[in-house]
Structure 1
Amino acid sequence: MANIILISGSPSKQSKTAKVANYLQKQLQERNHDAQCIHVRDLPAEDLLHAKFTSEAIRHTHELIERADAIIVLSPVYKGSYTGILKAFLDLLPEKAFANKIIAPVVTGGIIAHLLSIEYSLKPIFSILGAREILHGVFILDQAIEKDERGEITFQGDAKQRLEDLIRSISIEKASV
């Protein structure tokens, strides 16, 4: 059983990225992983905007990340990059917060060209935060994320399989560490 933290950089509770984060958390928990989600939008805005490293809410997220075996970072793509709210949060993390952790990016976007945001936006910041084991990651087109008649998230194409592969990769990587 791995301790996995999801960091959702979506500014909206109703966004497709937030729904993917909730889906992943549920899937991980069903596989007996300890999975918790940090929804950055729920942190005090003043703490993020004024870089309050010592705020109780920010310190709590640092403790969760410190104890994590793996971290899944999720974000929609806006203007070719991850969200500003996620940037504000990542700026508050200690310099080597991702050291010795498995890191996996999951990005949602409106066009396939946004796939490059994983390589050009997220992976460099993960490296700066000390990550040495960054999984391939998953990009999901917005149009591949839908809701069924019960309001449950569903995926078109191979998106669900790629998320399952990500979960499996985290489990395998954790077991080999």
Structure 2
Amino acid sequence: MSKVVLLAGSPSIQSKSSALLQRVARLLKTQGVALELFTLEDFPAEDLINARWDSPAVNEFVQIVAQSDGLVVSTPVYKAAYSGALKTVLDLLPERALENKAVLALASAGSAGHLLAVDYALQPVLTALKARHIVGAVFATDKDFTRNEDLSYQIADPILARLDAAVSQLVAHLPNPEHARIPAGELAKSVQAARISI
């Protein structure tokens, strides 16, 4: 069974970027992928700020990433870049931490003006960590979310379609993709759609 680590880069579990990550988690579960979820709360702030490589929380994260087949990172966009707290977590990963792994990036921002923040800010870091394959990115803006009464978010259909396609492409790049529970024809269509979506 393939295993994917989910990393939420927002300080709020009920953020828009976290809603994207939760949707991806549900989709991956339906494909029989084992998941490990990490949020910023899993790391003591002092360990991150002081770059404590020997932090038990950081060591656990590093070990679980090493044992995984893929990584999904979600982040809000602040000041035209991904969250600083997320950067501190990624900085504590070993140089080749994402070698032989597939990676999917998710981002939410106030407007489409920040569309390239993932391409120019986050993806270079993932590349520096030697990710084997970066499955593009899914980017959403405030207008793509509707707040529900329980404070969760409803995601707009076009973004849901992009998430579906991106997850199909991610699964196709995990070990033994033939075991994915997606009909072959549907998988091919989804992968093709993911190549042109962000």
> Aligning the two structures, in what range does the TM-score lie when normalised by the shorter sequence?
over 0.9
Match of 1:21 in 2: 21
Match of 2:44 in 1: 44
Tell me, which stretches of 5 or more residues in structure 2 are unaligned?
A: 179-198
TM-score, with structure 2 as normaliser:
0.83
Q: CA deviation at 1:172?
A: 1.2
Rg: which structure is higher? 2
Q: Are residues 157 and 22 of structure 1, via their aligned partners in 2, closer, same or farther at CA, if it must alter by over 3 Å?
A: closer
Q: CA deviation at 1:147?
A: 3.9
Match of 1:86 in 2: 86
Match of 2:76 in 1: 76
Q: CA deviation at 1:76?
A: 0.4
Q: Distance in 2 between matches of 1:117 and 1:27?
A: 25
1:123 is aligned to 2:128:
no
Match of 2:33 in 1: 33
- Assess if the C-alpha contact under 8 Å between 1:4 and 1:36 holds in 2: yes
Q: CA deviation at 1:137?
A: 1.1
Spell out the pairing of 1:1-177 with structure 2 (5 A cutoff).
Answer: 1-148=1-148, 153-174=153-174, 175=176
- Assess if the C-alpha contact under 8 Å between 2:19 and 2:152 holds in 1: no
Q: Distance in 2 between matches of 1:110 and 1:138?
A: 14
Per-residue CA distance 1:92-117 (angstroms, 9 max, x = gap): 11001011100111111111121101
Q: CA deviation at 1:134?
A: 0.9
- Assess if the C-alpha contact under 8 Å between 2:108 and 2:142 holds in 1: yes
Q: CA deviation at 1:11?
A: 1.2
Tell me, which stretches of 5 or more residues in structure 1 are unaligned?
A: none
The alignment partner of 2:120 has SS state of helix
Percent of residue pairs bearing the same amino acid type: 31
The alignment partner of 1:135 has SS state of strand
CA RMSD of aligned residues (A): 1.8
In structure 1, what residue type is equivalent to 2:114? Answer: H
